[in-house]
Amino acid sequence: MPPYVCRRFGVLDAMILVAAIAAGLAAIRGIMPYGFNPLIIFDNDGPVRLQAKMVFSWINSSLPVAAALTVSLVPLRLLRPRPPARRVCREPGFVASVAASSVTLGGLLWSIPAIAATNNTFIDCLSFAFSPFMAPLYAGWAVAGAWALLFWGGRWKPQPHWLDRAGRIAGGFWIGWIAASLVERRLLDL
């Protein structure tokens, strides 16, 4: 097999990632239109619950940026020069990006008719699709399932380049979100 060649990080990559961050920040603005004020949201709670609510509210508000960055990794990996599609589909980073992106974009497509019926803006639609209640848990389970299929099928072939590593980090984030949501439920039910 020839040595693995990967495309270097370039200006187009940076532009796509900046656009993804902008889309995620626009969705955050839709979720939290008046900013974040913990004194309004968290009142009459004990210190442990107050700290847990603050930490998880910040994590929840960062989810749209993580979702947008994950979605942006798919077209970045498909830009040329790249290896053949059969090799790209064995990379755990690409598989994680595709699994999480399909869940996120599916949630967006699912929410468009509901948001359109209520005459809200597209930013409201984005914030609903990337909301902490739609994408994160399903994306985490989708990534875990896709990685399990890759591993058990003997197709797990990680590559030493920045795109696969970024996809693996994104996949780890979505799987980690499953554990974080379980901890959040446990702490907030005390």
Long-range contacts of 84-88, Cβ-Cβ distance < 8 Å, separation of 24 or more: 87/157
Eight-class DSSP state of 90:
T
What is the C-alpha to C-alpha distance for residues 142 and 156, in angstroms, rounded to an integer?
16
Residue 132: predicted pLDDT: 45
pLDDT tens-digit profile of 15-57?
999 999 998 888 777 666 555 554 445 556 666 667 777 777 7
Q: Does an H or E element contain 67, and which?
A: helix 47-78
Q: Which two tokens stand for residue 33?
A: 């239109």
Q: Are 128 and 115 in contact (CB under 8 A)?
A: yes
* pLDDT (tens digit per residue) in 81-105: 888 888 888 999 999 999 999 988 8
Residue 63 corresponds to which tokens in the numbers above?
Answer: 């989810």
Residue 27, CA distances (Å) to 21, 52, 76, 91, 97 in order: 10, 23, 21, 29, 19
